[in-house]
Amino acid sequence: MQGETREKKTIYKTRFILYDTTVSYQLSVVWMDGSLQLSILNRYIGREFLKIFLLSMSAFVVIYLIVDVLENINDFIRQGVPLSTTIEFFMFKIPLIMVQVAPVATLLSSVITLGILSKNSEITAIMTSGVSIYRIIVPVIGISMLVSIGSLVGNESILPYTNQRIKYIESTGLKKKYPRGSFKQNRILYRSNSSIYNINIFDPKKNTLQGITIYYFDKDFNLIGRIDANTARWINKKWYFYDICSRRFENGGEVGMETWHEKTIPISETPDDFKIVEKSADEMSYTELKGYIKKIKAEGYDATKYLVDMHAKLAFPFAGIIMPLFGIPFALRTGRERGIISGIGISIIISFGYWVILSIALSLGHNGTLPPIVSAWISNFIFLMVGIFMLSNVR
């Protein structure tokens, strides 16, 4: 019985050699069913990937901030913006930068990490011990998935606030325009000298208002007039209103009404005044944006642009998982002959291709050529399919 017990408790030893760029590691791994070996392998590859990822993220953030500071610092100085506000402006940009560059950082880290392992024959040594290439990349995909989840959380909880602060500082500090209204209950409420605007939708790209009601008051704040219009467009520095109904009031009662299909109505506000108050998709969480879209649809307005932005809020963070999957085959194939410089070049090319496809798809979605969900996800789908195909052919 004792001999049989000793035989069951026999510990098998296996050795495999892992090479770093300067130091050779010879690991004696003690295992009974392979679990300990794979655990050490996960930690080793995960640690190397994480080091390069943190370095990449830091480099991207620093470079982005340096360029941004050089481009804007003269404007802050010229407008006399306090130093504390200037610092606050750039600090609030860091979360946005991190979310934007996260997919590129995971791509670059995976390409460099696996490229170096392949160049130093560590991938070959590991696979010789019976570990498949799919098992080798598990730590890379696992960490990339955590990064994507972090980006989703940031999009929902942090970026709406920081983007609002960035916009506020730009408006008040650089443009010297202070908000005279608010975005409440998914609509713009704007107060002028003798009138109040109630606006359902403002499109800052097209300088178009939809669902407009203007209330006019006398000096005692008595209602003297009201204008309702379906649409208003800013053309040649004038507001052209369409499908208009104008009412006049005296002593609390209506005394006259006129309608026009099209009319130029002189108001002092320009699109820039409404941009300060309007809340863009970047300043709303996914939940807020979904509620805004529901309100727009219920009132009969076109919500295509906002639907595209809503789906993009979910689609873009997942690029942090898909981009490494696309880059890994390149790293394994070219890593044997080339090193870090090659990995950086490959990452730049892949990232540029992704951004081009994403930008075109979102533009097609905004103008209604592609369905919103397709325009937001098609770039991820293309890179995912190509990445899986290339990975399946890696030997």
Please report, for the domain that includes residue 213, its CATH number: 2.60.450.10
Alpha-carbon gap, residue 302 to 269, rounded angstroms: 24
Output the pLDDT for position 373.
94
Position 385 in a domain: yes
Examine the domain organization and report whether 59 and 163 are in the same domain: yes
Find residue 246's DSSP bridge partners.
227, 258
Tell me how far apart the 2 most distant CA atoms of the chain are, in Å.
Answer: 109
Examine the domain organization and report whether 139 and 65 are in the same domain: yes
Examine the domain organization and report whether 223 and 161 are in the same domain: no
Output the pLDDT for position 96.
93
- Look at the block and give the residue holding tokens 């953030």: 61
261 neighbors 243 (Cβ within 8 angstroms)? yes
Examine the domain organization and report whether 160 and 197 are in the same domain: no
User: Considering Cα of 79, then 83, then 89, then 94, what sign does the dihedral take?
Assistant: positive
Output the pLDDT for position 179.
66
Position 296 in a domain: no
> 363 lies in which domain range?
50-167+312-392
Output the pLDDT for position 14.
36
pTM of the model: 0.76
Output the pLDDT for position 123.
77
Of 27, 26, 31, 34, nearest in space to 12 by CA: 31
Select from 243, 268, 293 the last residue of a domain. 268
Domain count, the chain: 2
**How many C-beta atoms lie closer than 10 Å to residue 30's C-beta?**
11
- 137 sits in the region (left: phi over 0; alpha: psi -120 to 50; else beta) called alpha
Position 295 in a domain: no
- Tell me the mean pLDDT per 10 residues along the chain, length 395: 42 38 38 54 88 93 94 90 92 94 92 82 76 84 93 91 90 75 70 84 86 87 89 91 90 81 87 80 88 83 88 92 85 62 79 92 93 94 89 74
